[in-house]
Structure 1
Amino acid sequence: MRFFVVPDSAAGEAVVASLRDRPDLRIIPHESGRPWIAGRWRDEEVAWAEAGPRRIAILGSAAASRLWLARYVAGLRGPAGLDGLARELPGAFHAIAAVDGTVCVQGSLSAVREVFHGRVLGTTVAADRPDTLAALTGAGIREELLAVTLIAPAPMWPLGEQCLWQGVDTLPAGCRLEIAPDGRGRVVRRAVVPAPDVPLSEGLDRLRRALHDAVAVRTHGRTMLSADLSGGMDSTSVCFLAAGRVERLLTVRCEATDPADDDGRWAALAAARLPNAGHVVHPPEDYPLNFAGLLESDPDLEAPSPVLRNRAMLVEQARRLAAAGSTRHLTGHGGDELFLPAPAYLHDLARRHPLRAIGQLRAHRAVYRWALRPALRGLLDRTSFSDWLARDVGRTLDGSTHDVNSAPLSGWGIAHRMPDWATPDALASVRHLLRETAEKGAEPLSPLRGQHFTLHSVRTGGALVRRMDRLSARHGVTIEAPFLDDQVVEAALALDYAECLRADRYKPALVEAMRGIVPDENLGRRSKAEFSTDVYAGLRRHRSELLELCDGMRLAELGLVDADALRSLLLNLPPFPLRLVPLFGTLACEVWLRSLPAGPRETAHTLEGAR
């Protein structure tokens, strides 16, 4: 899907007129007949309705009838009425409305459906992709932000959501974009993060219903779909929620290269109990390894891709699924982010129930072997979010690899670092941006550290799924993550974290919500696979291509990376997997830079052919 949203004006009409030569362009009009939404989409991806001069459109995954939408938009008391839409309509979607002359655009809390906006021909234009907006004006990239993409394991909030394209902004989390008839745009906060105080016993019904509805939206009107069945709790839950709702469910698992990986045993246990399901298990040699094909250009120019190291595998999976007859694939992404309580919640618990927090700290230390002094220091820390951004993060960026067991509570986020091959200029650039962002009054996603961390993880996971879907959809198969729907996210965030923060239980909220749906044997799993063996195997297999990327590196030309230092790491792989994590962002940024067209005219031409 690709779309643009414009106001009911001559300027908006001129913007869409500039797109007229693009093949397959579809248009939904304002009441005046001028263009309102323009782009490319399949019929099943869009539902819209009108009620007098008002309009509403849902783009994405939602089971909304035209009659329901017409009644909904007719009953709105101004644009603020859209605030409650996600609570009434299950799914993951962009909501676009024209209400009393104002055009409103909003995405999902998880960033699976993201909104970007900028000024084109003198008016505010919204879109689902920033690169397509930039192509309308011939804008380039913001080189001053490139160093941020090197931060490992991922850029912290809010730096990670700053758009890399000049003149284009990302709509902040939980906000709505309103475009006035004169083309002026303003950002309005619409979503309030729920207080995490609902007892588990009371919140389970809402969570279970939200999960049920999220999967039902994806199965509606379908006889067949496919789904991951890795053996983990998340994909297993999605499969059992989907089973019986379609005539044929095809589950897919790719065996790991690590012989110690026990996912296969748990997946087989679930598969034996799934009704109306066929199961495909691929040996590792059926799929490309990590880092395959990185010398090829990336067709998705939004930003450096978080799925880059698995890009070739995702493409091969899409091809195989399409050949098997699937056009929609479900995944369990988002389950870890929502249901593995962040250690940062211990910091919040210490202010709410000090004695209980001490007990949980002791339990977590026993299970995860945390060092005592750093854990206590983190528990007692009172640093504000802005001070953490401006001071604490910058201090540790150039340190040696952080041991998560020695410092489990790292202020308002995880322990961030820059790669060993980042130049002093790159490090200075990131520190400057951190201070500048703090001085502008950046606020956390929640006043609670645990909830802020969870929301940031959810949005990072949502961006991952958005990019996975875009890549897979080019080959005929969309990827859907029911856990990342707004209704599921809000139901999970509302649960009392004090009841979920248990070192002796694995994902207690999800386990209890799925009791009676997922077999008890699978609900009892406490292990979790890790995939460093796959990463090492891919690095060894594709070392020559990765070394070729070190020749004439764009990042080195920009003064951000020491190519010789990166080449040295590739030739002498470290024995500790954590030291490889910074590699992912560096390679993603380098491939993205190499994929960018040479100039504005070529950029516009290239983006015309992008899906």
Structure 2
Amino acid sequence: MCGITGIISPPGKATVPERLGALSAAIRHRGPDGHGYHAWSPDSGGRFGDEPEIARGHRIALAHRRLAIIDLSADGRQPMTTADGRVTIILNGEIYNYLEIKKELEALGRRFDSTSDTEVLLQAYAQWGSGCLARLTGMWAFAILDNSTGELFLARDPFGIKPLYYMIVDGAFVFASEVHALLTYPGAPRRINAAALHDYLRFGFTDRFDATMVAGILALPAAHFVTIAADRPAEVRPQRYWQIDLGAAPRRMSRDDAAAELRDMVRRNVELHLRSDVPVAIALSGGMDSAAIAMLEKEQRREQETCTFSFIAESPEINEEAWIDLLIEQSAVNGRKIKVDPQALSGELDNLIRAADEPISTTSIFAQSKIFTAARAAGFKVILSGQGADEIFAGYLPYLSSRLRGLLGKGQLADAIRFIRACRRENKVSPSYLITHLLGQLATGSIERAMRRIAGQPTMPPWLNKAWFDRHGVVPRGVSRNRRDAPLKSHLANTLFDYTLPAILRHTDRTSMAHSLECRVPFLTTELAEFAYSLPDDYLIDVEGRTKSILRQAMRGIVPSEILDRRDKIGFDTPQRQWMAANMDSWDAILKSDAFRAIPAFDHRTVAQDWRAMMADPGRVDARLWRWLNLARWSDINAIEYS
């Protein structure tokens, strides 16, 4: 895990070393173990150096900040160049199956000078070009420079676990691992992206495809690569290299066979994610996903102590301590528990926002930050997390409506009635909840807006300044619609790639890397995703309303039955309302600040009324308040411009 950045100046111009140095310094926390630079120009080719001054007079410059995880020696330092000098790489991330790829490359006659996964990726690209991406299991954002032509190849992993952002400034292509690094560059855009702002304030997420909260700063989308020509750096045309086929017919295999195959896959992927030359910890909740990782880690590393870190909430309705204690006892791990002082939230808000790069979705990031702080203080550089399993194997309650839609669409009325009853009995989900969410899926954006007008409901909440959003051409939209022929699978894909998971992954990357800690997610591999999406819907959510049904069966005998049979797990949650209520005076100061009042996206009179109601009754505090506060502080910290 590391940080990467670089500049391609337009023809006739050269890189300013001070600008490259500022970009590199802004991501130092991502790689405190070392740094390096590579510069290129048409007449002199590529050069390596320890300081940004090497970029002076050169058209292209790359910078790398290293967090040493695999091959801790100097052989693993970056930028790294092939022995023939042809291509140079800077990598942020890990290639978990690098040993297998290395054997394949050695059989083709390639030789290696290190034991790092970076060199394997470099040689793989030299051998297969962009075709190497299909062979990789891992998380990555990397740039490879062809020193013979000045052509730059950039790619991001299939799920967007690792970040990569870019912008065009005065004809130069500038990229970095984090948005705030790009903001150090002279002339960087700072104008708000009105559409992304609307999505954040309404729904709490901004990570749709290539959008960021700053207009003019874009994310290279997950599962995409782009090639930038040295003489045309402003021409950026990303290409997709992988996607899930939602229209494929479900594979024909028994449930028992599917569970057995899945068990082997999960075991193999956990084993791959444990490859490291430094100790590995586990973020443990009381749920099945992190429990599976902990149990399999213990199974595969019996001679080593397994160390887990768990957040313990004070609120009894979301307290997972009893389940965590059960896992600690049955797995004999060294379990460490983290409790949070809610009154510290206001004092740490600015640091959380600086680390997060963009406004934060929920207060769970505060608890996650404390877990990562404790893990790093205990000497760990790597921690495993169960993120992604819910989006791949259908673990969230809203998926139930999509499953019901699939049953009704196939005319399976008896099963649909049985499903509705089971959801009410086992999941405490009412029929009205299922029907309401099902109808919401059926309505297109235009139909939804028309229905709101007929019902006398505003298309935009009154606390937003509709005139301002109209002036910026923002049309209120809901989340992505699900396909009729594959309602459950398309719902999963939407949360996996369009909303929910992208924001979770962004927050996790920034929060962990703020502590120079690498967070790995063993469930997020193309192998597991393609397998899950190839199964019948009933294997994911059965007619008894059991979410992640096939994963529960696959983990039987590995994870304690008490955990597998839980129906009340709600994800990594925090008592947001109580935490917010504990800091009302601090929030009042922010909402009365000039920075907040200067944001034209709000109807400030309505916001003031709603805030007074929350002050009078903290029980009325809701998610809007957290977003208001985050936007105000993020805008102020980054000097964001509104018009």
Q: Which of the five TM-score ranges fits, normalised by the shorter chain?
A: 0.7 to 0.9
CA deviation string 1:278-305 (max 9, x = no partner) = 11234x4x54458432664532363212
Contact 2:309–2:371, Cα closer than 8 Å, also in 1: no
Letter in 2 for 1:140: R
| Residue 624 of structure 2 corresponds to residue 582 of structure 1 | yes
Query: What residue is the counterpart of 1:44 in the other structure?
Result: 69
Query: What residue is the counterpart of 2:284 in the other structure?
Result: 229
Q: Is the partner of 1:37 in helix, strand or coil?
A: strand
1:130–1:67 CA distance, 2 compared to 1 (3 A): closer
Letter in 2 for 1:458: L
Query: What residue is the counterpart of 2:584 in the other structure?
Result: 543
1:69–1:374 CA distance, 2 compared to 1 (3 A): closer
Q: Distance in 2 between matches of 1:400 and 1:325?
A: 58
Query: What residue is the counterpart of 1:140 in the other structure?
Result: 190
Q: Distance in 2 between matches of 1:290 and 1:510?
A: 38
What is the TM-score normalised by the length of structure 2?
0.75
Query: What residue is the counterpart of 2:540 in the other structure?
Result: 500
| Residue 357 of structure 2 corresponds to residue 302 of structure 1 | yes
Query: What residue is the counterpart of 2:496 in the other structure?
Result: 458
Task: Report matched runs for 1:287-298 at 5 Å.
Answer: 287-288=341-342, 291-293=345-347, 296=350, 298=353
Letter in 1 for 2:155: Q
Query: What residue is the counterpart of 1:433 in the other structure?
Result: 475
Q: Is the partner of 2:600 in helix, strand or coil?
A: coil
Letter in 2 for 1:185: V
Identity among equivalent positions (%) equals 18
Q: Is the partner of 2:225 in helix, strand or coil?
A: strand
Q: Is the partner of 2:204 in helix, strand or coil?
A: coil
What is the CA RMSD across the aligned residues, in angstroms?
4.2
Match of 2:509 among 455, 458, 469: 469
Query: What residue is the counterpart of 1:18 in the other structure?
Result: 19
CA deviation string 1:328-367 (max 9, x = no partner) = 2222222333331613243344444644763465346634
Q: Distance in 2 between matches of 1:393 and 1:161?
A: 25
| Residue 310 of structure 2 corresponds to residue 253 of structure 1 | yes
Q: Is the partner of 1:44 in helix, strand or coil?
A: coil
Letter in 2 for 1:464: I
Letter in 2 for 1:190: Y
Contact 1:294–1:545, Cα closer than 8 Å, also in 2: no
Report which of the two structures shows the higher radius of gyration computed on alpha carbons: 2
Shift of 1:396: 5.1
Q: Distance in 2 between matches of 1:54 and 1:419?
A: 53
**Matched residues, number:** 565
Q: Distance in 2 between matches of 1:377 and 1:218?
A: 36
Contact 1:147–1:430, Cα closer than 8 Å, also in 2: no
Q: Distance in 2 between matches of 1:398 and 1:252?
A: 51
Match of 2:239 among 188, 199, 207: 188
Shift of 1:189: 1.9
Q: Distance in 2 between matches of 1:526 and 1:239?
A: 20
Shift of 1:29: 5.9
Shift of 1:201: 4.8
Q: Distance in 1 between matches of 2:481 and 2:359?
A: 25
Match of 1:166 among 215, 231, 250: 215
Query: What residue is the counterpart of 2:108 in the other structure?
Result: none
Structure 1, unaligned runs of 5 or more: 402-415, 600-611
Match of 1:212 among 260, 267, 272: 267
Q: Is the partner of 1:272 in helix, strand or coil?
A: helix
Query: What residue is the counterpart of 1:176 in the other structure?
Result: 225
1:378–1:169 CA distance, 2 compared to 1 (3 A): same
Contact 1:51–1:73, Cα closer than 8 Å, also in 2: no
Query: What residue is the counterpart of 1:327 in the other structure?
Result: 381
1:75–1:354 CA distance, 2 compared to 1 (3 A): farther
Structure 2, unaligned runs of 5 or more: 26-33, 48-59, 71-75, 99-116
Match of 2:638 among 582, 596, 607: 596
Q: Is the partner of 1:432 in helix, strand or coil?
A: coil
Contact 1:93–1:107, Cα closer than 8 Å, also in 2: yes
Task: Report matched runs for 1:381-400 at 5 Å.
Answer: 388-392=444-448
Query: What residue is the counterpart of 2:323 in the other structure?
Result: 266
Contact 2:69–2:277, Cα closer than 8 Å, also in 1: no
1:33–1:204 CA distance, 2 compared to 1 (3 A): farther
Q: Distance in 2 between matches of 1:117 and 1:397?
A: 40
1:351–1:42 CA distance, 2 compared to 1 (3 A): same
Query: What residue is the counterpart of 1:606 in the other structure?
Result: none
1:377–1:315 CA distance, 2 compared to 1 (3 A): closer
Letter in 2 for 1:72: A
Q: Distance in 2 between matches of 1:25 and 1:477?
A: 17
**Mean alpha-carbon deviation: is it higher for 55-64 or for 583-592?**
55-64
Q: Is the partner of 2:475 in helix, strand or coil?
A: helix
Query: What residue is the counterpart of 1:346 in the other structure?
Result: 404
